[in-house]
């Protein structure tokens, strides 16, 4: 399979990177003129696509395209990405090439959005444009949905509204593919081959604000336990009593597939979890990365109490950032905290509510098609189902499909992966070309 692409295609990706479609902490601060420019850019860059596909703007900047197939009675497919990016100003001086220059150098395109994730959107369009030029029409209807606020407002204004519209229209998708897992090396200890991570589920997340009440007063005559002291004790209890580890089928399948390359004990234990499940869990719990696959994690991140050095706090408040594994819920974790608090005078308030997503099967026609293509594109890789630790827009579409996957078909080093949301984000032209051809092949199979 070829990993080359025309200079024009590279220029189109670079052009998309040059438009600063920034997600702002406060949605009202968004500079929508950049988003308007981006929408116009797409129309100019992909004329055949825009002459052939239906296009809708949902809530102004959410983008939907529909490529009508020859057999509309078959269930449609949905491909996704988002076109907002995180800001880069604070690091701008440290970038090798400016973050919105779209510089093409050293065999790469540089800038914000090259890995997260304008590249996926532009690769879709490049693939569609090529296929239309070649006279291809799909059998199924193919939908494309692109959110504009994935990064900071978690798709509240984009994906959420598009998903509601699809639901209202009674659409059911045979499969959905969004950004997510990549082909990585060195991510799992002891595994030397690249591993292609096809996300089948996402952890949920919730911030809990826990407030402990105290009596206040002057610090010269403190009680045995101040509100802050009690809050500190509760934080210690939360860290000492993690939620139980569970080897979910997704994580177990993933680890078993890669275990052929692992050391003797780990491999033996993974293949005999009926006997050694406890050992596997304790081995995995040793590393922060694999521990997060096993359980709902609770990270105390913020605390506040009295405003003055000699005033006892009336209340002490801590924030616990929680990532939920399927099986635990926002309410069950709140109950866990309440139990740990015992008779402390606490109030526990979940500030946001995103439950863990349902788990899509690592089988079935759509998954197998992605798996087969991935194996073909990355012949050295071990292809595995994967639990996505962060969040993607695709979780909003759970009512429209049981087959939702998160995967971007590029192979990255740890260094490249660390450039996401960081400085020097860039994609090799070879990787980008592979991604375009992957989507061509995927679209052709529908
Ligand atoms: Zn993203």
* Mean pLDDT across the chain: 93
Q: How far is the CA of 168 from the centre of ligand 1 (A)?
A: 26
Q: How far is the CA of 443 from the centre of ligand 1 (A)?
A: 22
For residue 275, pLDDT over 70 is answered with no
- β-bridge mates for residue 412, sequence order: 184
Q: How far is CA 57 from CA 44, 61, 64, in A?
A: 17, 6, 6
The DSSP 8-state label assigned to residue 358 in this structure reads P
Q: pLDDT digit string (tens) for 106-138?
A: 999 999 999 999 999 999 999 999 999 999 999
Q: Is 150 a catalytic residue?
A: yes
The DSSP 8-state label assigned to residue 101 in this structure reads S
Q: pLDDT digit string (tens) for 190-228?
A: 788 999 999 999 999 999 999 999 888 888 989 999 999
Q: pLDDT digit string (tens) for 360-390?
A: 999 999 999 999 999 999 999 999 999 998 8
Higher pLDDT: 174 or 154? It is 174
The DSSP annotation for 277-311 comes to: HHHHHHHHHTSHHHHHHHS-EEEEEEEE--SSTTB
Helix axes 429-444, 365-377, angle to 10 degrees: 140
- Phi-psi domain of 60 (left: phi exceeds 0; alpha: psi -120 through 50; beta: other): left
Q: How far is CA 419 from CA 23, 284, 386, in A?
A: 18, 26, 21
For residue 260, pLDDT over 90 is answered with no
Residue 436 pLDDT: 98
Q: pLDDT digit string (tens) for 16-72?
A: 999 999 998 888 899 999 999 999 999 999 999 999 999 999 999 999 999 999 999
Q: Is 84 a catalytic residue?
A: yes
For residue 7, pLDDT over 70 is answered with yes
Q: How far is the CA of 393 from the centre of ligand 1 (A)?
A: 8
Round to whole Å and give the CA distance between 302 and 238: 14
Residue 355 pLDDT: 92
Q: Which of 350, 330, 349, 393 is nearest to 156 (CA)?
A: 393
Residue 92 pLDDT: 65
Q: Count Cβ atoms within 10 A of the Cβ of residue 336 and give its class: 0-12 exposed, 13-18 middle, 19 or more buried.
A: buried
Q: How far is the CA of 154 from the centre of ligand 1 (A)?
A: 10
Q: Count Cβ atoms within 10 A of the Cβ of residue 34 and give its class: 0-12 exposed, 13-18 middle, 19 or more buried.
A: middle
Which one from 84, 355, 393, 425 is the annotated catalytic residue? 84
Residue 190 pLDDT: 77
Q: How far is the CA of 107 from the centre of ligand 1 (A)?
A: 23
Which one from 116, 141, 150, 202 is the annotated catalytic residue? 150
Q: How far is the CA of 325 from the centre of ligand 1 (A)?
A: 20
Q: pLDDT digit string (tens) for 139-150?
A: 999 999 999 999
Domains of the chain with bracketed CATH: 7-186+359-444 (3.40.630.10), 204-350 (3.30.70.360)
Tell me how crowded residue 156 is: count the other CB atoms within 10 A of its CB.
15
Q: pLDDT digit string (tens) for 407-436?
A: 999 999 989 999 999 999 999 999 999 999
Q: pLDDT digit string (tens) for 76-116?
A: 999 999 999 998 876 767 899 999 999 999 999 999 999 99
For residue 325, pLDDT over 70 is answered with yes
Residue 199 pLDDT: 96
Round to whole Å and give the CA distance between 55 and 155: 19
Q: How far is the CA of 366 from the centre of ligand 1 (A)?
A: 22
Q: How far is the CA of 26 from the centre of ligand 1 (A)?
A: 18
Helices (H), 116-157: 118-133
Distance of CA 364 to the CA centre of its chain: 22
Average pLDDT on 268-280 reads: 72
pTM of the complete model: 0.90
Residue 86 pLDDT: 93
Residue 281 pLDDT: 80
Round to whole Å and give the CA distance between 78 and 408: 14
Residue 282 pLDDT: 79
Q: How far is the CA of 336 from the centre of ligand 1 (A)?
A: 32
Residue pair 206/350 in contact by the 8 Å Cβ criterion: yes
For residue 271, pLDDT over 80 is answered with no
Round to whole Å and give the CA distance between 413 and 404: 26
């Amino acid at each position: 399979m070829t990993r080359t692409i025309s200079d024009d295609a590279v220029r189109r990706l670079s052009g998309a990177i040059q438009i600063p479609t920034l997600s702002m902490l406060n949605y009202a601060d968004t500079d929508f003129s950049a988003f308007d420019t981006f929408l116009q850019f797409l129309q100019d860059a992909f004329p055949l696509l825009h002459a052939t596909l239906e296009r809708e703007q949902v809530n102004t900047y959410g983008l939907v395209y529909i490529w009508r197939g020859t057999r509309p009675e078959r269930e449609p497919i949905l491909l996704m990405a988002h076109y907002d990016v995180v800001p880069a100003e604070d690091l701008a001086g440290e970038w090798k090439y400016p973050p919105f220059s779209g510089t093409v150098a050293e065999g790469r395109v540089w800038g914000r959005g090259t890995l997260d994730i304008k590249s996926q959107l532009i690769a879709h369009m490049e693939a569609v444009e090529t296929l239309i030029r070649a006279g291809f029409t799909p059998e199924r209807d193919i939908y494309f949905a692109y959110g504009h606020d994935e990064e900071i407002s978690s798709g509240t204004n984009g994906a959420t509204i598009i998903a509601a519209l699809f639901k209202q229209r009674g659409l059911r998708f045979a499969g959905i593919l969004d950004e997510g897992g990549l082909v990585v090396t060195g991510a799992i200890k002891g595994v030397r081959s690249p591993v292609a991570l096809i996300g089948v589920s996402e952890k949920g997340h919730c911030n809990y604000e826990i407030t402990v009440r105290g009596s206040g007063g002057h610090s010269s005559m403190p009680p045995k336990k101040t509100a802050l002291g009690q809050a500190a004790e509760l934080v210690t209890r939360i860290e000492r009593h993690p939620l139980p580890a569970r080897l979910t089928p997704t994580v177990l399948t993933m680890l078993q597939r890669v275990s052929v390359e692992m050391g003797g004990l780990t491999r033996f234990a993974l293949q005999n979890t009926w006997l050694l499940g406890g050992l596997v869990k304790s081995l995995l719990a040793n590393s922060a990365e694999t521990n997060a696959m096993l359980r709902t994690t609770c990270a105390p991140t913020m605390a506040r109490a009295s405003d003055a050095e000699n005033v006892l706090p009336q209340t002490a408040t801590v924030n616990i950032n929680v990532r939920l594994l399927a099986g635990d819920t926002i309410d069950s974790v709140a109950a866990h905290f309440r139990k740990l608090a015992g008779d402390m005078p606490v109030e526990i308030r979940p500030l946001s509510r995103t439950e863990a997503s349902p788990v899509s099967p690592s089988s079935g026609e759509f998954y197998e098609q992605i798996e087969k293509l991935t194996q073909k594109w990355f012949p050295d890789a071990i292809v595995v189902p994967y639990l996505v630790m962060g969040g993607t827009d695709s979780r909003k579409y759970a009512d429209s499909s049981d087959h939702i996957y998160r995967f971007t078909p590029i192979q990255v080093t740890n260094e490249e992966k660390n450039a996401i949301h960081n400085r020097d984000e860039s994609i090799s032209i070879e990787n980008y070309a592979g991604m375009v051809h992957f989507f061509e092949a995927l679209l052709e199979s529908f």
